[in-house]
Amino acid sequence: MLNCNMAKQVNISFDITVYDSFEELSQADQMLMQIAIKARQKAYAPYSKFQVGAAVLLENGEVVIGSNQENASYPSGLCAERVAIFHAGAKYPDVTISVIAITATSKKYEVTTPAAPCGNCRQAIFEYEFKQGLPIRILLMGESGNVVQCNSLEDILPLGFNNTFLK
Ligand code: THU
């Protein structure tokens, strides 16, 4: 039998801002990214040699940082973004998170493309964005090259899972 149901095609798209270089960012964003750069230098990444730094700006003006923390038992390590966002959640549980700046470097090659958060980190940051009901702006950078800005975490995690499913 012929199925006459018409499936709907829905397009999900989002805008990003691409800056040619770090110098094009606002002063405030440059300062935040500088803190993320400093954080990446303190990453503990003896296995991958890939060092990531993240700086979270809160609505009260405070900045908290994170860097990736690896482990000889590989899955026990944690990405910079989750270290930073959990740090923010632990230190300022009731303060809105405004921006997270993320940057990566490697001891093996020059990272010239923006470092994007992995799926687990997107899910972790999404939890806080959903909780606060306000978008978290995301700045992504390698060591050099373009800087990408996303306007919210939800943009880069469409159809994300959240606590509304947990009745
Ligand atoms: N890493 C991060 O810190 N953030 C990401 O979003 C992707 C990967 C870290 C985890 C690990 O220490 C190293 O980079 C290589 O995967």
Query: Ligand 1 atom 2: the closest Cα is on which residue?
Result: 79
Q: How far is CA 45 from the centre of its chain?
A: 18
Cα-to-centroid distance, 81 and ligand 1 (Å): 9
Model confidence pLDDT, tens digit, residues 13-42:
999 999 999 999 999 999 999 999 999 999
Residues near 147 by beta carbon (within 8 Å), at least 6 away in sequence: 18, 19, 21, 22, 24, 25, 33, 114, 139, 140, 141
In the reported structure, the alpha carbon of residue 9 is separated from the centroid of ligand 1 by a whole-number distance in angstroms of: 35
Cβ(106)–Cβ(113) below 8 Å: no
User: Does 81 qualify as catalytic in the annotation?
Assistant: yes
**Residues with C-beta less than 6 Å from any ligand 1 atom:** 45, 48, 50, 52, 68, 70, 77, 79-81, 117-118, 121
What is the position in ligand 1's atom list of the atom closest to the CA of 121? 6
Could you tell me the two tokens for 90? Answer: 């632990």
Ligand 1 pocket mutation pick from 50, 56, 73 by most atoms within 8 angstroms of CB:
50
pTM for this prediction:
0.95
- For residue 157, what are the CA distances in angstroms to 14, 36, 116, 120, 134? 11, 22, 12, 10, 15
For residue 2, pLDDT beyond 80: no
For residue 109, the tally of other CB atoms under 10 A from its CB is 10
Q: Is 104 helix (H, G, I), strand (E, B) or coil?
A: strand
- What's the 73 CA to ligand 1 centre distance in angstroms? 15
Q: Under a CB-based contact definition with an 8 Å cutoff, are residues 12 and 29 in contact? A: no
Q: Which amino acid is at 165?
A: F
Superfamily of domain 17-154: Cytidine Deaminase, domain 2 (3.40.140.10)
Report CA(62)–ligand 1 centroid distance (Å): 24
pLDDT digits (tens, 9 = 90+) for 70-100: 999 999 999 999 999 999 999 999 999 999 9
Domain residue spans in the chain?
17-154
Using 50, 70 and 90 to split pLDDT, how confident is the model at 140? very high
| Helix ranges (DSSP H) in the chain | 27-41, 80-91, 119-132
pLDDT digits (tens, 9 = 90+) for 45-69: 999 999 999 999 999 999 999 999 9
- Per-residue tokens: 78: 């944690």
